[in-house]
Structure 1
Amino acid sequence: MKPEDLERLVSTVMPFGKHQGTFIADLPGNYLNWFAREGFPKSEIGHLLALMQEIDHNGLGDLLTPLRPPR
């Protein structure tokens, strides 16, 4: 993992599927866990999904709070 990967979690949107348009950092845990069971895409999005699943699974979502843009 690179530090810039964390920033990309809060700035990259899911490009396909049920949660298309949702920031990767905002995807629900059950959706991330589904990818973990079925297999992450072999792409940069897959890398970010796997990282977010690991963060979510370990209860570390608050690490992303300071990186989120102001709303």
Structure 2
Amino acid sequence: MEALQPDKKFLIQLAHTKMPYGKYKDRYLIDLPEYYVVWYHAKGFPKGKLGQMLETVYTLKLNGLENIVRNIQRNFPK
């Protein structure tokens, strides 16, 4: 079985996306507090690309892989 390859363009975009509204407006998605992302997971992620990104952040945080996005932020500047 072939492993899924993450969409590089999506991950680069995610690394540079900030929360567009709410209490954590203008904070990078990867820097959102874990409890907030877990709350979104329970409530339901928003529709569209932001929801996909928040769901990816949830999965990365759940598995302790936030450094993947932080490395992208350092190595692929906007």
Which range, TM-score by smaller chain? 0.7 to 0.9
Per-residue deviation at 1:2? 1.3
TM-score, normalization by structure 1: 0.87
**Is the aligned partner of 1:64 residue 2:69?**
yes
Aligned residues between the structures:
70
Residue 32 of structure 1 aligns with which residue? 37
Q: Which has the higher Rg, Structure 1 or Structure 2?
A: 2
Could you list the runs of 5+ residues in structure 2 that have no partner in the other structure?
A: 1-5
* Aligned-pair Cα RMSD in Å: 1.4
Identity of aligned residues (%): 31
User: Which residue does 1:13 correspond to in 2?
Assistant: 18
Gap runs ≥5 in structure 1: none
Shift in Å at residue 65 of structure 1?
2.7
Scaled by the length of structure 2, what TM-score is found?
0.80
Q: Which amino acid aligns with 2:67?
A: D
Amino acid at match of 2:31: D
- C-alpha separation between the residues in 2 aligned to 1:47 and 1:5? 10
